[in-house]
Structure 1
Amino acid sequence: MSVPAPAPVPAAAQSSAAAQRPGAADPAPSRPAREGPAAAVLLVVGFVLLSLNTRVAFGQLGPLAPAAGFGTGTLTLLGLLPPLCMGLFAPLAATARRRLGEERGLFWASALLLVGAVVRILGLPGLFIGTVLVSIATAVVNVLIPVFVRSRFEPRRVGVMMGVYALSMGVGSALVAALMMPVWEASGHSWRTAIGLAAVPAALAALGIAPQLRHSGRAVGRGAEPGAARTGVPSGAGAVGTGVPGSASMVRTGVPGSAGTRAGDTRTRAGGAGVGKGGDRSGRIGRLDGLAWSLIAFFGLQTLLFYTTLAWLPAILVDAGVAKGTAGGMQSLFILGVAIGGFLTPVLAVARTDQRPHLFGVLLVCALGYAGLLAAPASAPALWAVVLGAGLGGGQAVAGVLYVKRGRDHDHVAALSTVAQTGGYLIAAAGPVTASVLHAVTGTWTAPLFAFVGVLLLSTVASLRAGHDRPAAGPAPVAGA
């Protein structure tokens, strides 16, 4: 009796089974399709215009504050709102990416930036409401940019483009901050007119990113990169998630080059960032490992220092005897330093697998800047502003490189970026308020500045793990499983 020949196994099933075999090799990461010359120019121009606008609104009040008469309570709350809102609303980027894709998500975020910039000119209540809107939009942009860069630019361009992002942010903020006092004086001391200047780059950002809408699609099924093969489930079936509430469940995932999953198991065999993908859409968040916590800590502490310094640098200099107009101008130099450090650090760091030397370098530069403010703030305020800006700008920008370097694929980068920025900005929200309280209690800025140095020491500890990825020894359980 003849035995019927076995039915042929579909190719998709073969690849799925191969992906589930222990030790199966990971597929090569997908590379972005090459753009034509015109499309490539539009891509870069749109990226730069969006980047120029990302932090403009947050640098406007510092130069105006000494002259416009904003009270300490108002400045404290306005300094608190951006990091607090960006921490609370960073997970919104996961929903935007899943439903809209990176390009549409960035476009609507830029539109919200424009709305927020306009609302900010409608009196003091509008200033607060508009700041919330701008902060929400910035939270979405901050999370989506590393994913956008990885998906739309070749790997060898990632460091340069993250540097361009940071440089453009700094240049846009510095230019607008430098114009605050001249516009305020020319408009008859109208802070609303000066604040309204931010609407111009916001409109340009929305126009610049609009041509990229033709590339947009839902992230699930299009941004899988190697993720679908790791789970053995087609990406369109929901195997790929963002690792945040409202997306696929977040489990501990491997680092680039780690082994694939075991059959019937959604956990990877090498621990990486502690965030990743699962096979359902329950929205559960998996247990975070040491790398994920160190990324949260490093980004959070650096962001705390950045936003606290951004809020109070003019006041620190005025208390040291620097003229109000000069102190406001130092804010522009500080942001210019942010642009310089933000461009150079990612370009230098991306080529290495170990970013710890670069993290130590930016922390040392920050320490020099704070030491100058402690020892002789009025002697060389421009020098301290630029040095401090370069250090803090480099620290903020290199965090984006860490997400891209540690991320296994586009979805993993999105998960890392979301988790780190959610936790990091919530940490940072405590900075402006704490500095204000310390100043009120002690009557000087010496105690807050020493506290900043202490935060740098904590950042150094966090950088030991954040700057170097060491795979964990075994699988981690899924939270709630």
Structure 2
Amino acid sequence: MPAPPTETLATRRARTGPPLASGASALLVLGFVLMSLNTRVAFGQIGPLAPVAGFSPAALSVLGLLPPLCMGAFAPLAAVLRRRLGEERGLWWASLVLVAGAVLRMLGMPGLFAGTVVVSAATAVVNVLIPVLVRKRFPRERVGTMMGVYALSMGVGSALVAAVVVPTAQATGSWQPAIGLAVIPAILAAAGMTPQLRHRPPQPAAGTGTKRTGHPHVARTALAWSLTAFFGIQTLAFYTTLAWLPSILVQAGLGRSAAGTGQALLICGVAVGGFAAPVLAAKRADQRPHILVTVLVCVIGFAGLLLAPAGTSMVWVVILGMGLGAGQALPGVLYAHRGRDHDHVAALSTMAQTCGFLLAATGPVLAAALHTATGTWTAPLTALTAVLLVCSAASLRAGHDPK
């Protein structure tokens, strides 16, 4: 009987990531962080600006609906760019589109709507390619840390820009310069990713022509649908909470200033949970406990907002933020751990984010409809809690590889 084949260098690198020289590693991490900072910057500007800019309720509804809707619709574009350009060049071009979209958003209300679509399309590409880049370029033991850095950077970028948009609008007397602040981190991201242009996409092996060896039938697997269920419901809960938390807190008896503080605390909780969850989950082969804890923390946060006295609302907001942040960051680890190779990781990421973001786009609209029908936020919060609990069972396959 022939001896089992030994592990080749290429196989080892596909499994653990390539070794990096210190200088190349520093440039990669810098570009990765600058790219990650931009992923939610544009979407965190509208809420704080709304009272100052005088946006109509209809405009606010559309601006809240466009990001998840467009990120779901444009996520498949990432697979095309990855095949043609590779992850590094795909992210660089996405950063240029982010700059263009950020500039476009400054050109009045039509520009704001059109620019939001452009920024969302670029962000969809980034969302899909980041987990593949992490799996490809970093050692396996650093996957959780880098996905944590990704989630933390998203929160930090959104919080920093959200903190300065209102003072900028008040100082200039217009919302356009405040919106234009997003151009700065977008330019920095493009500059940070430029050193990675030296990485070219791998050429097809000799004799294979242009045939691809991806995973076109990933939608036929239970794993892909389980990942989609977890990401989709978590993202629906995230965008619904982000859209309506200030209104929920005001109806609970808090003032508008306190409600704004609650939104800031939610973002802080998201950053903490987004960093901690992937770091902890990547250390284990089985992430089912992390999925269940993530769902449980979200449920506790929603239950606290529903049942606890208004004076403790901020505590439950922070807890909810940590759960929602974990739910946004944990899927990146799941793609990297469940994917058999880089193509499989990309296919899982694309499907989960395409379906998940389209599902998430319905959350704020359905919550508003329930609130209008009942006159309170009890029904929407109860519905979110129930959906999270029901969906937790469907999500467990995403956390484990059955032997």
Equivalent AA in structure 1 for residue 71 of structure 2: M
Residues 373, 193 of structure 1: CA spacing in aligned structure 2 closer, same or farther, 3 A cutoff?
A: farther
Q: Name 1:366's counterpart in structure 2.
A: 298
**Pairwise CA distance, 1:68:** 3.7
Distance in 2, matches of 1:52 and 1:443, equals 38
Equivalent AA in structure 1 for residue 13 of structure 2: S
Aligned residues with identical type, % of pairs: 62
Post-superposition CA distance 1:244-278 (Å, at most 9, x none): xxxxxx14xxxxxxxxxxxxxxxxxxxxxxx2xxx
Q: Name 2:151's counterpart in structure 1.
A: 166
**Pairwise CA distance, 1:157:** 1.0
Within a 5 Å distance, the mapping from 1:324-403 to structure 2 comes to: 324-376=256-308, 378-403=310-335
Distance in 1, matches of 2:289 and 2:305, equals 25
Q: Name 1:197's counterpart in structure 2.
A: 181
Residues 389, 124 of structure 1: CA spacing in aligned structure 2 closer, same or farther, 3 A cutoff?
A: same
Q: Name 1:40's counterpart in structure 2.
A: 25
Q: Let me know the Cα RMSD of the aligned residues.
A: 2.2
**Pairwise CA distance, 1:26:** 7.9
Equivalent AA in structure 2 for residue 149 of structure 1: V
User: Quick one: which of 64, 73, 79 aligns to 2:49?
Assistant: 64
Distance in 1, matches of 2:192 and 2:336, equals 24
Distance in 2, matches of 1:234 and 1:327, equals 61
Give the secondary-structure state (helix, strand or coil) at the position aligned to 1:379.
helix
TM-score w.r.t. structure 1 length? 0.78
Within a 5 Å distance, the mapping from 1:296-307 to structure 2 comes to: 296-307=228-239
CA contact (8 A) 1:297 1:462 kept: yes
**Pairwise CA distance, 1:371:** 1.6
**Pairwise CA distance, 1:387:** 1.5
CA contact (8 A) 1:90 1:139 kept: yes
Q: Name 1:114's counterpart in structure 2.
A: 99
Stretch of structure 1 that moved more, 66-75 or 129-138: 66-75
Q: How many residues align?
A: 397
Residues 298, 54 of structure 1: CA spacing in aligned structure 2 closer, same or farther, 3 A cutoff?
A: same
TM-score w.r.t. structure 2 length? 0.92
Within a 5 Å distance, the mapping from 1:232-243 to structure 2 comes to: 237-243=209-215
Q: Name 2:162's counterpart in structure 1.
A: 177
Q: Name 2:345's counterpart in structure 1.
A: 413
Distance in 1, matches of 2:280 and 2:149, equals 13
1:424 equivalent in alignment to 2:353: no
Equivalent AA in structure 2 for residue 102 of structure 1: E
CA contact (8 A) 1:337 1:387 kept: yes
CA contact (8 A) 1:177 1:331 kept: no
Distance in 2, matches of 1:218 and 1:301, equals 33
User: Quick one: which of 48, 55, 73 aligns to 1:88?
Assistant: 73
In the alignment, structure 2 segments of 5+ residues that lack a partner are none
Distance in 2, matches of 1:408 and 1:81, equals 33
Distance in 1, matches of 2:313 and 2:175, equals 25
Q: Name 1:270's counterpart in structure 2.
A: none
Q: Specify the structure having the higher radius of gyration (Cα).
A: 1
Stretch of structure 1 that moved more, 429-438 or 27-36: 27-36
Q: Name 1:30's counterpart in structure 2.
A: 13
Distance in 2, matches of 1:67 and 1:322, equals 20
Stretch of structure 1 that moved more, 324-333 or 151-160: 324-333
Equivalent AA in structure 2 for residue 64 of structure 1: L
Equivalent AA in structure 2 for residue 91 of structure 1: P
Distance in 2, matches of 1:85 and 1:62, equals 19
Q: Name 1:469's counterpart in structure 2.
A: 401
CA contact (8 A) 2:37 2:153 kept: yes
Residues 355, 59 of structure 1: CA spacing in aligned structure 2 closer, same or farther, 3 A cutoff?
A: same
